[in-house]
Amino acid sequence: MRRSIRSLLVATAAATALVLPLCAATAASASPPGFSNADKDSLRNQAPRDLAIGSAVWAQQHLVGYDAAAPTEFQEVLAGQFSSLTPENDMKWDAVHPAPDVYDFTSADALIAFAKANHQQVRGHTLLWHSQNPAWVTAASATWTCDDARAVLEDHIRTVVGHFKGEIYEWDVANEIFQDEWDNGGVKLRTTANPFLKACAADPVGLLADAFRWAHEADPDAVLFLNDYNAEGINAKTDAYYALAQQLLAAGAPLGGFGAQGHLSLLYGFDTSIQANFERFAALGLKVAVTEADVRIPLQAGETGPTPEQVAVQAERYDAMLQACLNVTACSSFTVWGFSDAYSWVPGVFPGEGWATISDEEFTPKPAFDALLGSLHDATPGTSPRR
């Protein structure tokens, strides 16, 4: 019979004394309310040894100036619960490449330093995307030829991936490169919105193949991913990705993985074909991953929070994504897009929706956290070996 997960989340003196040796820098500090970093309570230590459990984090806000001797509550939970970190914004174009001849790795390096101090891996995010590009890219791309775009993209990929060589275990090389089936024209490559694909619209697949080659040459050990939202189950978009993956592999591109972001909402139904989708990409020899999981809940004006039924469904959907990952050997990582509602991107982007993460604004774990912890516990006997 499964243990009472909720009872394990009470931070007692005994639990505090057992804080993870993985996070020795945090061992002297008290656990935040609701979380204990004791081995038995930690997502990272309950996970199978070959599955990274991650969280996104905006290093510029939360990790720059990290003091291992006096971590914040946020940093303590981040270190104790997760074995992998994804930079929410710190490795995107506007952050690391703000001007044509200027690279700024300040906040991204802070994330790497925090990860090293706490024995965590890092997923790189992202090298080619239509959003969060700096103003100089937006301006210059209006007159780019394909050769111009290729030169800029190659310099960026080689510089960024090279800077972090040996520090990144998975890179989201191409992010959200297909539009959705309900967009104008249906599922197709974003040759209008993505400045690089637009400039090379005559051969976008060739550009993508080279992007993967440049990244691989800069860091041969990193696994290189395609990544997108609405890409969890089998649908028109993932059919397009499946065909693209076959094209890239046939062209000899070093594509290594396919990532489904996992941004879900209770406003919509749940696709039960996630595992089947992962299995078909795995059959191509690729790794698969849930890369940005959150489950937002519609909240009516005046409501103080979600209903118990909504909370239960949210937990079920988080767990279903994890189960699909656990059931496919090729699934290498499961990442939540932030663990606390205090810093969730959802309310600012989806008005009327929120409560999307696995803990509330006070870092109190939700049933979704309980569900993930229980499934990780059940997936491997006892506590997994520490990384």
Which one of the listed residues 76, 88, 232, 292 is annotated catalytic?
Answer: 292
For 323-387, the DSSP string reads: HHHHTSTTEEEEEES-SBGGG-SHHHHSTTEE--SSB-TT-PBPHHHHHHHHHHHHHSSSSPPP-
104 and 95 Cβ atoms separated by less than 8 Å:
yes
Of 332, 249, 262, 252, whose CA–CA distance to 296 is shortest?
262
Measured CA to CA, the distance from residue 59 to residue 143 in angstroms comes to 34
Amino acid at 123: R
Which one of the listed residues 176, 353, 361, 362 is annotated catalytic?
Answer: 176
Measured CA to CA, the distance from residue 261 to residue 181 in angstroms comes to 17
292 is catalytic: yes
- Residue 109, token pair as written in the block: 């390096």
Q: How many CA atoms does the CB half-sphere of 339 hold within 13 Å?
A: 30
Measured CA to CA, the distance from residue 206 to residue 260 in angstroms comes to 23
How many Cβ atoms sit within 10 Å of the Cβ of residue 309? 9
Q: How large is the angle between the packed helices 308-326 and 367-379, nearest 10 degrees?
A: 30
Amino acid at 66: Y
Q: Tokens 């595992």 appear where? A: 275
The C-alpha angle 6, 293, 301, rounded to 5 degrees, equals 80
123 and 292 Cβ atoms separated by less than 8 Å:
no
Of 319, 312, 308, 306, whose CA–CA distance to 346 is shortest?
306
Measured CA to CA, the distance from residue 239 to residue 245 in angstroms comes to 10
Of 161, 151, 152, 317, whose CA–CA distance to 225 is shortest?
161
Q: Tokens 């989340």 appear where? A: 9
303 is catalytic: no
Q: Which residues contact 28 (CB under 8 A, 6 or more apart)?
A: 69
**Which residues have a catalytic role annotated?**
176, 292
